[in-house]
Amino acid sequence: MQSLRPVERSGTAQGSPLSPLLFSLVLEPFAIAIRQSSTIQGTVIGTTMHKILLYTDDILLTLTDTSNSIPELISCVKEFGQISGYKVHFTKSEIMPLGFTYLGVKITPKISQHYAENVNPMIKHIKARMVGLKRLPISFLGRINLIKMIILPKIIYPLSMLFISLKRNNIKNINKALSDFISAGRKPKIKLDVLQLPKEQGGWGLPNITNYITAMQARIISIWIMKSFDQHALLIKILRPVKKLHESGFCTIGS
C-alpha cells in the first residue's frame, strides 16, 4: 500500500506553463475556506455573496461586518500559512474604501459612476494616443496592426472588467478617430465598413469595436453559465490539459 505522505520534493522547470495552474490549485482551499465561513461576510449582489477575487498572486476581499469578518479572516490566513507555507505580508496589505483603482479599473462607490470614471478617461486617452501615433511614418497595414495590438486592448479591458457597453456616440467618435488615424489625417479613401471586412471579402481585417464588445460579453456570460454545470465534470475538463503538460515533460518532480 502506497504511503499517504505528501510529496516532499517537487517543482517545475522555470517558465513552465504548469506553474500558475499549480499555484491556483494550492490557493483554492484558502479561497474555499473564506467562501464557506459563516463569520466572514461579503458583499451580496442578488442572491449571491461575493467575498474574494483572485488574480494570479493578488487577492482582493470585499467584506462587510468588518468587526467580525477581519479577525476571522486573519485567523484563516495564519492557519493556511502554517499548513502551506504561504504567507500574507500584512504590512503590504491595505484596507481600501470604495473609490480606489484596482488592476487599472477605478472601483467607484456607485455602479452608475463606472462609465464616467472609467470609459470617458479611456476614450480621451486612446484618442490622444492616436494623435501622437498619427505623426509617425507608419504604413497603412502597420496602422491597422497598431490598432489591433495597442488601441483595441485598451478599449476592451475596462469594458470586460466592468461588463458595460459603449454608448453609440462614443463608438461613433472612436470609429472616427480610427479612420483619421489610418488615413494619417488625410481624407479617408476607404470606408471603415470596408476596412472591417475579412481579407477574404476584400477588407483589411480591421477590428469592429461593436462586434468585439458583443463577443467579450458573450464570453463572460458563457463563463457564468458554465458555473451552473456539474463541478466535478468541470474540474476534470480543467485538469486534463494539466495531465498532458506533465506527460509532455513540462513538469519535473524532484528525485
Extents of the domains making up the chain:
18-95, 105-239
Model pLDDT, residue 118: 93
Q: Which three cell numbers stand for residue 70?
A: 477581519
CA pair distance 94, 44, nearest whole angstrom: 22
Q: What is the mean pLDDT of the chain?
A: 82
- The mean pLDDT value for 195-218 works out to 86
Stronger pLDDT, 28 or 98, i.e. the higher one: 28
Q: Which three cell numbers stand for residue 250?
A: 513540462
Model pLDDT, residue 71: 92
User: What's the pTM?
Assistant: 0.65
Q: Do residues 73 and 38 make contact, with C-beta atoms less than 8 angstroms apart?
A: no
- Given pLDDT bands bounded at 50, 70 and 90, which one contains residue 92? confident
Non-local (6+) Cβ contacts of 216 within 8 A are 156, 159, 160
Model pLDDT, residue 253: 42
pLDDT of 231 > 60? The answer is: no
Write the pLDDT tens digit of every residue in 28-53: 999 999 999 999 999 887 788 889 98
Q: Which three cell numbers stand for residue 244?
A: 498532458
Q: Which position has the grid cell 500500500?
A: 1
How many angstroms separate the Cα of 145 from the Cα of each of 96, 140, 187? Answer: 39, 9, 20
Cα 180-182-183 angle, rounded to 5 deg: 65
